[in-house]
């Protein structure tokens, strides 16, 4: 993550607080209140990879691995692992004496079931990542051997596990429809906190797991996620001390800047380095106009991205160059890639060439735009798209839905023309990036290629890159991938950001790994 310096607001006050926290003795007890901005009506990270799921489910369920403070894989439910040189076999040695919250023992059977029935068949990013997973052998209760038909690079698998390696209990999910299981909204896990209550639109509560496998942890008594969709109300509750943490850029940009000047708070990208993101513009190829590459390119050329960033996002963003962000030191492609600079004249010319002449009132055609309800930048971006496209004769109707409605409409029903949201980059393109482009994802899998776009050549590049064990060759293949998708433009990712968190300074051990908001919070504590 060293291509971008971490953005710190109020940095001078933050550093002494960090040093103080390291010198203090952790205090047991207390309730951590968390701003929960967007409900997705599922809390099981084995089924849906999303920060909106991890922020809750990641405290109750655990993955085989997580990331340490330096961003390296570290064991959680797996203590150690080894891989065959050919990348076809990976063995995980599991932690012993771990219990599910209902008292049943955690074993390799749970890993086998989750990998084959959930990751491979349902999990939105897992279905592509694990497409060549043939079986998970369980020679004993604490060993899981993953066998692949094509090589799985160890580095890719280990980098994927913190997000795509959560385990669910076999004994709870093996009967009936996995997707409809009540445990998807009342998780049973092995994590430091166990589920208590979920009142939709109001709150979620979890309490300390008294049988947690890490000795004497967690420190907190409870975690309470307060559902607050109004950003101004969330900022007011932060100032009143009623909410102690707001994750994932959930507050208004003006409030982030204001709270950053208040010594009670830390406003920072620290703890989000593993969650780089790009703003998306997604095209539904079932819409006749958008199936024409000239129209997609015209739309891109009609948007003045640098102007939007300078006037609406400021220091929180920079122009993107493609689906692999610049923070990816291992995979960011060298050399020039196709880009779409602002050029309204060219946009008009392309639309004319595509046969879409202006009609009454100067309108060529109309489109529906569905923005994801995740953050203020998406709302601003959708309005900017609407206003910009009107200048080249495209009328845009913005259709705003809640989180569940957006996910269903765009990724299951495909009842949209344009959509915009966030793509999150998680250490390797094969984890959560190439799935936006590869065909064949199950219908309804969020943040995958549900756009009706199929390119066998791109599918082949994606598969070859995901199974190439030589790092230099993988990087070259990803450069080919970026060049191809930037040329065809099935999805455009023109803005690059890192999430911003707001911490009350009473919260200690916050942001101490690159995906802290998604991590377990087993060592978080509250100063008095």
**Could you read off the pLDDT of 79-93 as tens digits, one per residue?**
999 999 999 999 999
CA distance 3 to 423: 19
Rounded to an integer, the average pLDDT of 255-280 is 93
pLDDT digits (tens, 9 = 90+) for 135-181: 999 999 999 999 999 999 999 999 999 999 999 999 999 999 999 99
CA distance 337 to 485: 10
Among 18-32, 293-307, 442-456, 487-501, whose mean pLDDT is lowest? 18-32
Return the beta strands (E) in 356-447 as ranges: 365-371, 394-398, 418-420, 422-425
Rounded to an integer, the average pLDDT of 240-253 is 95
Q: Is a pLDDT exceeding 90 seen at residue 275?
A: no
Average pLDDT over the chain reads 93
Among 204-218, 284-298, 320-334, 391-405, whose mean pLDDT is lowest? 320-334
Q: With b meaning 16 or more CB within 10 Å and e meaning fewer, what string describes 144-161?
A: bbbbbeebbbbbbbbbbb
Among 198-202, 234-238, 333-337, 522-526, whose mean pLDDT is lowest? 333-337
Percent of the chain with pLDDT over 90: 89
**Burial group, residue 214, by CB count within 10 angstroms (0-12, 13-18, 19+):** middle
pLDDT digits (tens, 9 = 90+) for 201-229: 999 999 999 999 999 999 999 999 999 99
Q: Is a pLDDT exceeding 70 seen at residue 21?
A: no
pLDDT of residue 95: 98
- Provide the pairing of β-strand 222-227 with 31-36: parallel
CA distance 466 to 127: 13
Rounded to an integer, the average pLDDT of 458-465 is 96
Domains within the chain, CATH numbers bracketed: 8-37+192-267+500-526 (3.40.190.10), 65-173 (3.90.76.10), 276-498 (3.10.105.10)
Rounded to an integer, the average pLDDT of 12-17 is 41
pLDDT of residue 4: 36
CA distance 118 to 127: 9
Q: Please, how many CA atoms are within 13 Å of residue 449, restricted to the half-sphere of its CB?
A: 23
pLDDT digits (tens, 9 = 90+) for 43-69: 999 999 999 999 999 999 999 999 999
CA distance 398 to 416: 10
Q: Is a pLDDT exceeding 70 seen at residue 400?
A: yes
Tokens of 516: 């802290």
Q: Is a pLDDT exceeding 80 seen at residue 2?
A: no
CA dist 141 to 83, 112, 145, 407, Å? 19, 11, 11, 37
pLDDT of residue 17: 46
pLDDT digits (tens, 9 = 90+) for 470-504: 999 999 999 999 999 999 999 999 999 999 999 99
pLDDT of residue 22: 58
Percent of the chain with pLDDT over 70: 96
Query: Does residue 204 contact residue 194 with C-beta atoms inside 8 Å?
Result: no
Q: Is a pLDDT exceeding 50 seen at residue 311?
A: yes
CA distance 379 to 249: 13
Q: Is a pLDDT exceeding 60 seen at residue 3?
A: no
- What pTM value is reported for the model? 0.85
pLDDT of residue 335: 83
Rounded to an integer, the average pLDDT of 405-433 is 95
pLDDT of residue 11: 39
Query: Does residue 201 contact residue 74 with C-beta atoms inside 8 Å?
Result: no
pLDDT digits (tens, 9 = 90+) for 326-361: 989 889 998 889 999 999 999 999 999 999 999 999
CA dist 524 to 22, 162, 272, 527, Å? 12, 18, 16, 10
Rounded to an integer, the average pLDDT of 265-282 is 93
pLDDT of residue 96: 97
Q: Is a pLDDT exceeding 80 seen at residue 119?
A: yes
């Amino acid at each position: 993550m060293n291509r971008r310096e971490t953005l710190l607001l109020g940095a001078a006050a933050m550093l002494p607080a960090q040093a103080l926290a390291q010198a203090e003795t952790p205090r047991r007890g207390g309730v951590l209140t968390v701003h929960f901005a967007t409900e997705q009506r599922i809390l099981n990270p084995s089924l849906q990879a999303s920060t909106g799921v991890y922020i809750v489910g990641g405290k109750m369920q655990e993955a085989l691995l997580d990331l340490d403070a330096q961003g390296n894989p570290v064991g959680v439910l797996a203590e150690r692992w080894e891989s065959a040189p050919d990348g076809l076999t990976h063995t995980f040695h599991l932690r012993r004496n771990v219990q599910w919250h209902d008292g049943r023992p955690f074993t390799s059977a749970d890993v086998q079931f989750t990998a084959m029935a959930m990751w491979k068949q349902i999990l939105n990013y897992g279905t592509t990542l694990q497409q060549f997973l043939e079986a998970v052998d369980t020679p004993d209760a604490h060993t899981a051997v993953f066998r692949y038909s094509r090589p799985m690079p160890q580095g890719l698998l280990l980098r994927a596990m913190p997000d795509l390696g959560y385990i669910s209990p076999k004994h709870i999910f093996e009967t009936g429809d996995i997707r409809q299981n009540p445990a998807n909204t009342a998780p049973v896990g092995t994590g430091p906190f166990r589920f208590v209550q979920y009142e939709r639109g109001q709150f979620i509560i979890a309490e300390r797991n008294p049988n947690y496998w890490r000795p004497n942890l967690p420190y907190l008594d409870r975690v309470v996620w307060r559902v607050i969709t109004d950003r101004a109300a969330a900022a007011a509750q932060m100032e009143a001390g009623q909410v102690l943490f707001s994750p994932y850029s959930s507050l208004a940009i003006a409030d982030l800047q204001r709270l950053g000047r208040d010594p009670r708070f830390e406003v920072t990208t620290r703890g989000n380095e593993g969650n780089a993101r790009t703003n998306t513009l997604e095209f539904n190829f079932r819409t006749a106009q958008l199936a024409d590459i000239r129209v997609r390119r015209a739309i891109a050329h009609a948007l003045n991205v640098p102007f939007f960033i300078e006037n609406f996002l400021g220091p929180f963003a920079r122009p993107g160059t493609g689906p692999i962000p610049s923070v990816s030191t291992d995979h960011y492609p060298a050399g020039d890639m196709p880009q779409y600079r602002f050029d309204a004249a060219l946009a008009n010319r392309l639309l004319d060439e595509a046969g879409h002449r202006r009609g009454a009132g100067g309108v060529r055609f109309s489109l529906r735009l569905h923005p994801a309800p995740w953050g203020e930048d998406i709302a601003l971006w959708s309005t900017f798209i609407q206003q910009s496209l009107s200048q080249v004769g495209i009328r845009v109707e913005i259709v705003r839905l809640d989180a569940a409605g957006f996910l269903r409409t765009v990724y299951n029903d495909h009842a949209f023309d344009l959509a915009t949201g966030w793509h999150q980059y998680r250490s390797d393109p094969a984890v959560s990036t190439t799935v936006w482009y590869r065909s064949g994802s199950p219908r309804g899998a969020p943040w995958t290629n549900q756009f009706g776009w199929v390119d066998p050549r791109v599918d082949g590049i994606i598969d070859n890159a995901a199974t190439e064990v030589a790092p230099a060759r993988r990087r070259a293949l990803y450069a080919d991938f970026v060049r191809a998708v930037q040329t065809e433009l099935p999805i455009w990712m023109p803005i690059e950001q890192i999430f911003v968190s707001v911490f009350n300074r009473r919260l200690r051990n916050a942001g101490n790994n690159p995906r802290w908001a998604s991590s377990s919070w087993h060592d978080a504590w509250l100063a008095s």
